[in-house]
Amino acid sequence: MDSIYNALCDIVGKEYCSNLPEEIYIYSYDLGTAEPKKPDYVVSPRTVEEIQKIVLLARDKNIPLVPLGGGLSLAGLAIPQKGGIVIDLKRMDSIIEVNERARYAVIECGVSQGQLISYLKKHHPNLTHSEPGAPPAATVAGNIIIHGQGDLAHPYGFSSDMVLGLEVVLPSGDIIRIGSCALGSGWFTIHPLPDIGLFLGWCRTTGIITKLSIKLFPAKKIRGTGTFVVEDEELIPEIIYKITHTQIPEDIIVYSRAIPPFAKGLHHITVNLAADSEKELEFKQELIWDDTLGEYIKNDLGGYLGFTKELERPQISKTSDYKKGGGFEYVGGIMPIDTYPQCYIRGREISEKHDIPYTVTARIIGLAHSMMFAWTYAFNRADEETIKKAREALYETDELVIELGGVIWKPGIYGQRLVMDRLHPGTKNLMKKIKTIIDPLGIMNPGNWELL
């Protein structure tokens, strides 16, 4: 008998532990183009204590551990590169606390975006969180761990800038807390204790975040989207600069794509506005469309397409079916806004070279401190050739991000290598030391960010 399997069953219960070919198959795949790699076991724990026991077991037996949230990163970040135990965290799905006045929520790591949206809508209609536009099955924690961005990224930055506290199971099996919760008080601030930035952006190679506190923001009564259309990509950086100067929008996205035809060769800038009254809304609209963008309309350079009340949250995406093939993957680059024209032109070239209708999207982060520029490549899961083409396009795009002076967001293995090759030696050295101390056996999500 398999003693590790039995030990895992003892921890989580037989029903939530498997080493059967069916689970091994499903959990070996990511939804993007990454090659599958088989885990040896799959477990689905319900408590932090169970997770702690799993980690201790893995440490004692020197087995890789691969934590999995919604499994929707598309970059293959939860593929068990070296086998081991996949920990499906989706049963860790309690919303523990929402503090209305201090505007934060404490949740477990398996809470999905859809669940949190629905919960806040029902119980705290004045509060909202920054929703990333991933399918609603994506977890809130997963989005934060990879430094994702949501529909409040413009005023408030990356989702990981919204963390107010963490509970983490370390590869040693120790459970630690970061932020005011470490003092046993509320989960309302991550500062001003000494900074321990060890878990965000590390792709779960330093520990398993089990609980987190996140900032919530005012949910105004009216939320909607207005659209402005521009043909000349060179104008986008200055237009974004001007719109962000107003400090008014909740979210700003620019997109262009080959299909449907109306979007081809044009740049649609969608601007989300929120208000508690018609008066407030019209004030904001006037500032944006008339005072800020009026000159572009007058000069035939831009057009106001209208404003639609009501936001679709969670957003419903049909991107995966672009090629009627059930697949797409994208490279996200965190880029300076000024690179927009190059991102667009070069991205189009890469798409066209690989025979994929181009799709590019930029979400403005902070007051245009940067943007997340996504180059999306659809493929047909039943056609190896299209997968190969998409994969090549993705690799070329990873290189483009670096070339244009950006930083690859949530890179897959290929992109991680590009980044590591260029990392400042001092930085690389410190990361190595941290990793050696915190995970000396290298059991956490091995294959990712391998500096040693």
Single out the residue of 4, 9, 11, 27 in contact with another protein (rule: CB under 8 A).
27
- Sheet with 95-99, side-by-side order of all strands: 95-99, 104-108, 208-215, 163-169, 175-179
Single out the residue of 38, 82, 90, 417 in contact with another protein (rule: CB under 8 A).
90
**Using the rule CB under 8 A, is 262 a contact of another protein?**
yes
318, amino acid identity: K
Which residues from 231-260 bind another protein, rule CB under 8 A?
231, 259-260
Find the shortest distance in angstroms from Cβ 373 to another protein.
21
14-49 burial, b if ≥16 CB within 10 A, otherwise e? eebbbbeeebbeebbebbbbbeebebbbbbbbbebe
Say how many residues make up the chain: 452
| Of the candidates 216, 202, 40, the residue with the CA atom closest to the CA atom of residue 125 | 216
User: Do the beta carbons of residue 188 and residue 180 sit within 8 Å?
Assistant: yes
Which residues from 321-350 bind another protein, rule CB under 8 A?
321, 324-328
Find the shortest distance in angstroms from Cβ 174 to another protein.
27
Q: List alpha helices for 233-339, DSSP H.
A: 236-245, 278-285, 294-298
**Using the rule CB under 8 A, is 265 a contact of another protein?**
yes
Q: Which stretch binds another protein (CB under 8 A): 173-181, 193-201, 228-236, 418-426?
A: 228-236
Find the shortest distance in angstroms from Cβ 394 to another protein.
17
**Using the rule CB under 8 A, is 117 a contact of another protein?**
yes
- Sign (positive or negative) of CA dihedral 433, 438, 439, 440: positive
Which tokens in the block code for residue 6? 């039995």
d(CA 419, CA 374): 17
Which residues from 169-208 bind another protein, rule CB under 8 A?
none
Nearer to another protein, 21 or 192 (CB): 21
Nearer to another protein, 261 or 425 (CB): 261
Q: What 8-state DSSP symbol labels residue 313?
A: S
Which residues from 294-323 bind another protein, rule CB under 8 A?
294, 296-298, 300-306, 309-310, 314, 316-318, 320-321
Which residues from 381-420 bind another protein, rule CB under 8 A?
381-382
Nearer to another protein, 285 or 359 (CB): 285
Nearer to another protein, 14 or 432 (CB): 14
d(CA 372, CA 353): 23
Q: Which stretch binds another protein (CB under 8 A): 55-63, 207-215, 226-234, 369-377?
A: 226-234
**Using the rule CB under 8 A, is 21 a contact of another protein?**
yes
| Distances 17 to 173, 229, 267 between C-alpha atoms, Å | 20, 52, 48
| Of the candidates 80, 76, 5, the residue with the CA atom closest to the CA atom of residue 43 | 5
Single out the residue of 5, 7, 19, 29 in contact with another protein (rule: CB under 8 A).
29
Which tokens in the block code for residue 190? 């991550």
Nearer to another protein, 28 or 342 (CB): 28
Find the shortest distance in angstroms from Cβ 39 to another protein.
12
Q: Which stretch binds another protein (CB under 8 A): 109-117, 148-156, 240-248, 410-418?
A: 109-117
Q: How many residues bind another protein (CB under 8 A)?
A: 74
User: Of all helices (H) and strands (E), which one includes residue 360?
Assistant: strand 359-365
Nearer to another protein, 110 or 157 (CB): 110
Q: What are phi and psi of 160, to 5 degrees?
A: -70, -15
| Of the candidates 301, 291, 315, the residue with the CA atom closest to the CA atom of residue 269 | 301
Which residues from 128-147 bind another protein, rule CB under 8 A?
135-137
Nearer to another protein, 114 or 201 (CB): 114
Single out the residue of 20, 183, 194, 424 in contact with another protein (rule: CB under 8 A).
20
**Using the rule CB under 8 A, is 150 a contact of another protein?**
no
Nearer to another protein, 55 or 230 (CB): 230
Single out the residue of 33, 44, 339, 359 in contact with another protein (rule: CB under 8 A).
44
Find the shortest distance in angstroms from Cβ 286 to another protein.
8
Which tokens in the block code for residue 421? 């090759």
Single out the residue of 81, 112, 160, 210 in contact with another protein (rule: CB under 8 A).
112
Which tokens in the block code for residue 89? 């965290």
User: Number of helices (H) and strands (E), helices first, in the chain?
Assistant: 13, 19
**Using the rule CB under 8 A, is 115 a contact of another protein?**
yes
d(CA 403, CA 386): 25
Q: What are phi and psi of 80, to 5 degrees?
A: -70, 90
User: Do the beta carbons of residue 95 and residue 109 sit within 8 Å?
Assistant: no
Single out the residue of 25, 125, 353, 430 in contact with another protein (rule: CB under 8 A).
25
Which tokens in the block code for residue 181? 């919760």
